[in-house]
Structure 1
Amino acid sequence: MKQGLELKLGQHLAMTPQLQQAIRLLQLSTLDLQQEVQMMLDSNPLLDEEEGVELAASDSPAPAQEERQLDLAAETNLPEELPVDSQWDDVFDMGSSGAASATADDELPDFEARNSREQSLQDYLRWQADLTFFSSEDRSLAELIIDAIDDNGYLAADLEELTETSGRPMVELETVLLQVQDFDPPGVGARSLCECLSLQLQQIEEENEALLLARRIVAEQLELLAKHDYVRLAQALDAREEELRAAIALIAALNPKPGGEIGAGDSEYVIPDVIVRWIGKRLRVELNAEAMPRLRINRHYADLSGGKDAAHRYIQDQLNEARWFIKSLQSRQETILKVATAIVERQKDFFANGPEAMRPMVLRDIAEAVEMHESTISRVTNQKFMTTPRGLFEFKYFFSSHVGTDQGGAASATAIRAVILKMVQVEDSQHPLSDAEIAKVLAEQGIQIARRTVAKYREAANIPPASQRRRL
């Protein structure tokens, strides 16, 4: 093959770093965006936070997008900055009184730091062990047992293994285990579900017929209770229906995973990106001003970007980066508002009548409405939330597949799940509806759906099967 040089002219799409940054900002959640903004503020001296900058929003979900402008740091009306050549001592007074106060504080325990740290189940149990009278040998056994308790509160190791590890007799280990099982939360240190429920029932002081029957059920007939076989359960215990109902209610109030109450992890907070509210008979869609970053260009440094040396070129690069970052944030907010408005326009029946009125909708429907690519809509709807008169919802909640109807239309999967949930809530608890019966009822309403599809929607709505919904 002969080698040679050839010149070709063509077009291709190249993603600049600025475009990559804009796409990445678009798919970040509000909390992640706040961290990203803080990192940019720390790294770019040309960026400053500005208080009191409001973002304009539409008064109605009309498609006039030109009215939804974002006032993110317009450089034409930037206020003057404070001097930046101040010293640390000019801001903080480190005199003798401050030093004396710091010394006095050092002598006190840091209760705030101690309470702010998440407490694990083992920490909680060790704290109770410190308050319990143990000999030095038993204290080491208690420590061994506490280390073997899992996050659900169960003893994850066999006593034989702990005996070999400690080198102490089994009877001493069992004695210490009984003491640990008296700790809070009730049921901790159990070796099985039966023992866990029994420990909790033992701590109920007021004895009555329901409590005695509940203890018998847990000790003898827990398998029948799990199967909801109440007929055989009543026969095995020779109990009346009223007594059995009271005992089952008592067992249902127990916690099968007592350790989950302690050290469950930090709460994850959701900050809504969009606020939807009724204004008369119209729905108003607006951005959440509290969740949006308010940035501006530092004019003091921006005025130093006109030189030709390395320092001035650095300032110019940082200025360009700051301008593009603000522009990317503005584009992000405009896109979120545009997509949210299109979603609300299409799902107005949901806000007026509830989940049963949800319309089937896919990403392509919104992409065509706002004239964007489906991949962009996917990024916008990822981890974005709107607070509405019907609650807080993720954007993706409004997207669902559809099922055909007898009239040739389509029903949303979300609406069908809502209908199934409503049917289950009003069903006969002694004879709950099976998936086949639910499918038959839906068919009578004009919704053609298979039994296996009903099972899938039922599981998606966290509805247990009919055998587990049966009650006395």
Structure 2
Amino acid sequence: MKPSLVLKMGQQLTMTPQLQQAIRLLQLSTLDLQQEIQEALESNPMLERQEEGEDFDNADPLADGDELPNPGSQEIALQESSIPTVENLDDGGEWNERIPNELPVDTAWEDVYQTSASSLPSNDDEEWDFTSRTAPGESLQTHLLWQLNLAPMSNTDRLIAETLIDCINDQGYLEESLEEVLAAFDPELDIELDEIETVLRRLQHFEPAGVAARDLRECLLLQLRQLPNSTPWLVEAQRLVGDHLDLLGSRDYALLMRRLKLKEDELRQVVELIQSLNPRPGSQIEASEPEYIVPDVIVRKHNDRWLVELNQESVPRLRVNPQYAGFVRRADTSTDNTFMRNQLQEARWFIKSLQSRNETLMKVATQIVEHQRGFLEYGDEAMKPLVLHDIAEAVGMHESTISRVTTQKFMHTPRGIYELKYFFSSHVSTAEGGECSSTAIRAIIKKLVAAENAKKPLSDSKIAGLLEAQGIQVARRTVAKYRESMGIAPSSERKRLM
């Protein structure tokens, strides 16, 4: 074949840097977005934040044009559609020459505009405590080593104790056998198995109670032994845990009463004493830092109408700094002037991207509240079936956009804080030809289990029959799937004494 030049025409989907930035901001969570805004404020001198109680000077042309409205002040009733908008920059002012609204496609920010590295966090705040905000939580091993340092012990025993502590998992159990621990030591140390077992018994007296146990039986017995001798039913509880723990696990209360020679009421008190113990003692020592949820949307009822508003504290109020913007000179091609014009354009696009995110979030949240009025009024049992396609059609957007805006976004309602994804669920047909949400079915199953007879808990088949009596056609395996998703044990494990 001879080489030749061929001209072809075709269509290809491309995204401008402005669109890429808008999509990236849309899918960020509240905490990630706050970090992104902080980095933008540190790297771009054209952006500034409005502090609480501060008023901007609206006499400047930029004050009205590039200010990002306070998200929390925009309330939307379900019957209204007042979406906040951003006005364009005032055409007046000697610095404001025409800047293109979009970059050429398939280009990056760095190819056209200059960027500057973000600076380090400011240390001007005297109340900012680095240690209290960055120190990790105490781990179980750290807690045990702290107690070990207070215990008088020989160097050899201390070495054994440190090795045993390293073998304790986060739940407080010893993962390795004593033989495996012994094999890990140097033979020249001449350590015997009895020494390891003696040190282990000393560790088992440390806090939390039940730590360093090798199995559940030993863990419960260690906690029972630390209770006062005057504790009611202590002897019977030790006997039950030591000899008949398997019967308690299988809920064979009739055989337990015969073995322990106890009446039903007496056995119930013994079981309650055992249930007061902690099968995972290591969980009492929290090593991870708590994670806080910042809601993006707040829903409240006012005058019998549900109102939707953006959280005032989630996103700060931004605008272009009019003083720096006034330094930009028209027809000036110097390096400093070019840098300021580039920063000005980036600031304008960043503000518009934030505003677009707020508008999309408000539209989606409003439609969700409109669809799920029943949930807000009556709870989970009134949840309606809802999929991404329904919201996408209502707001005129693609399903992928709805998926981005509902991921890691939270709504504060009078019933609690929920992720926006929580309001989406599949449906099950009813006898009348309607549809019932899977979330509502889970709520009904949970209600049935809570009201069941403790001696004769409902099986999955029985629950399916009760749902069918209410007109909800659900198979037994579907009931089992919903029950397991809620962490509810099967009927054989829910059986208990009255």
TM-score, normalised on structure 1?
0.88
Question: What is the aligned counterpart of 2:334 among 309, 326, 348?
Answer: 309
* Counterpart amino acid of residue 14 in structure 1: T
Partner of 2:175: 156
What whole-Å deviation, never above 9, does each CA across 1:420-472 have from its counterpart, x for those lacking one? 11111111010000000000011111111100000111112221111111111
1:31-110 correspondence to structure 2 within 5 Å: 31-52=31-52, 54-55=70-71, 56-64=73-81, 67-69=82-84
Whether the aligned pair in 1 keeps the contact of 2:381 and 2:440 (CA below 8 Å) is yes
What whole-Å deviation, never above 9, does each CA across 1:132-181 have from its counterpart, x for those lacking one? 11122222222121112111111122212222333412222211111111
* Counterpart amino acid of residue 376 in structure 1: T
- Give distance in 1, aligned partners of 2:450 and 2:43: 55
Q: Secondary structure at the match of 1:340?
A: helix
**Identity score, percent:** 53
Displacement of 1:209? 4.9
* Counterpart amino acid of residue 60 in structure 1: A
- Give distance in 1, aligned partners of 2:203 and 2:250: 31
Whether the aligned pair in 2 keeps the contact of 1:154 and 1:190 (CA below 8 Å) is yes
Partner of 2:28: 28
Distance of aligned partners of 1:269 and 1:208 in 2 relative to their CA distance in 1, 3 Å threshold = closer
Mean CA deviation greater in 380-389 or 261-270: 261-270
Q: Determine if the alignment matches structure 1 residue 135 to structure 2 residue 154.
A: yes
Whether the aligned pair in 1 keeps the contact of 2:136 and 2:287 (CA below 8 Å) is no
Partner of 1:88: none
- Give distance in 1, aligned partners of 2:230 and 2:221: 14
Q: Determine if the alignment matches structure 1 residue 330 to structure 2 residue 319.
A: no
* Counterpart amino acid of residue 58 in structure 1: E
What whole-Å deviation, never above 9, does each CA across 1:365-402 have from its counterpart, x for those lacking one? 11111111111100011011111011111101111000
What whole-Å deviation, never above 9, does each CA across 1:25-61 have from its counterpart, x for those lacking one? 1111101111111122222222222224623423412
- Give distance in 1, aligned partners of 2:275 and 2:454: 16
Partner of 1:7: 7
Mean CA deviation greater in 144-153 or 440-449: 144-153
- Give distance in 2, aligned partners of 1:235 and 1:290: 62
Q: Secondary structure at the match of 2:233?
A: helix
Mean CA deviation greater in 190-199 or 205-214: 205-214
Distance of aligned partners of 1:283 and 1:384 in 2 relative to their CA distance in 1, 3 Å threshold = same
Distance of aligned partners of 1:75 and 1:127 in 2 relative to their CA distance in 1, 3 Å threshold = farther
Q: Secondary structure at the match of 1:276?
A: strand
Whether the aligned pair in 2 keeps the contact of 1:417 and 1:458 (CA below 8 Å) is yes
Displacement of 1:115? 9.8
Displacement of 1:2? 4.8
Distance of aligned partners of 1:183 and 1:141 in 2 relative to their CA distance in 1, 3 Å threshold = same
Question: What is the aligned counterpart of 1:200 among 223, 236, 243?
Answer: 223
- Give distance in 2, aligned partners of 1:299 and 1:111: 34
1:411-422 correspondence to structure 2 within 5 Å: 411-422=436-447
Mean CA deviation greater in 250-259 or 228-237: 228-237
- Give distance in 2, aligned partners of 1:22 and 1:158: 56
- Give distance in 2, aligned partners of 1:182 and 1:208: 19
- Give distance in 1, aligned partners of 2:171 and 2:304: 50
Q: Determine if the alignment matches structure 1 residue 17 to structure 2 residue 33.
A: no
Question: What is the aligned counterpart of 2:286 among 255, 258, 263?
Answer: 263
Distance of aligned partners of 1:321 and 1:43 in 2 relative to their CA distance in 1, 3 Å threshold = same
Whether the aligned pair in 2 keeps the contact of 1:363 and 1:378 (CA below 8 Å) is yes
Q: Secondary structure at the match of 2:290?
A: coil
Partner of 2:238: 215
Displacement of 1:318? 1.7
Mean CA deviation greater in 260-269 or 50-59: 50-59
TM-score, normalised on structure 2?
0.84
* Counterpart amino acid of residue 149 in structure 1: I
Which 5+ residue runs of structure 2 have no aligned equivalent? Answer: 53-68, 92-122
1:147-296 correspondence to structure 2 within 5 Å: 147-166=166-185, 167=189, 168-296=191-319
Whether the aligned pair in 2 keeps the contact of 1:72 and 1:330 (CA below 8 Å) is no
Whether the aligned pair in 1 keeps the contact of 2:372 and 2:384 (CA below 8 Å) is yes
Displacement of 1:71? 7.0
Q: Determine if the alignment matches structure 1 residue 407 to structure 2 residue 423.
A: no
Mean CA deviation greater in 208-217 or 22-31: 208-217
* Counterpart amino acid of residue 180 in structure 2: E
Whether the aligned pair in 1 keeps the contact of 2:363 and 2:395 (CA below 8 Å) is yes
Which structure features the higher share of helix residues? Answer: 1
* Counterpart amino acid of residue 328 in structure 1: S
Partner of 2:120: none
Whether the aligned pair in 2 keeps the contact of 1:363 and 1:374 (CA below 8 Å) is yes
* Counterpart amino acid of residue 26 in structure 1: L
RMSD between superposed Cα atoms in Å: 2.4
- Give distance in 1, aligned partners of 2:338 and 2:26: 29
Whether the aligned pair in 2 keeps the contact of 1:58 and 1:68 (CA below 8 Å) is no
Q: Secondary structure at the match of 1:14?
A: coil
What whole-Å deviation, never above 9, does each CA across 1:218-240 have from its counterpart, x for those lacking one? 11111111111212222222221
Mean CA deviation greater in 228-237 or 276-285: 228-237
What whole-Å deviation, never above 9, does each CA across 1:281-338 have from its counterpart, x for those lacking one? 1101111011112222233332333320222222222221111111111100111111
Partner of 2:403: 378
Distance of aligned partners of 1:111 and 1:134 in 2 relative to their CA distance in 1, 3 Å threshold = farther
Whether the aligned pair in 2 keeps the contact of 1:285 and 1:341 (CA below 8 Å) is yes
Give the paired residue count: 441
Partner of 1:82: none
Partner of 2:119: none
- Give distance in 1, aligned partners of 2:158 and 2:30: 48
- Give distance in 1, aligned partners of 2:23 and 2:328: 28
- Give distance in 2, aligned partners of 1:75 and 1:48: 18
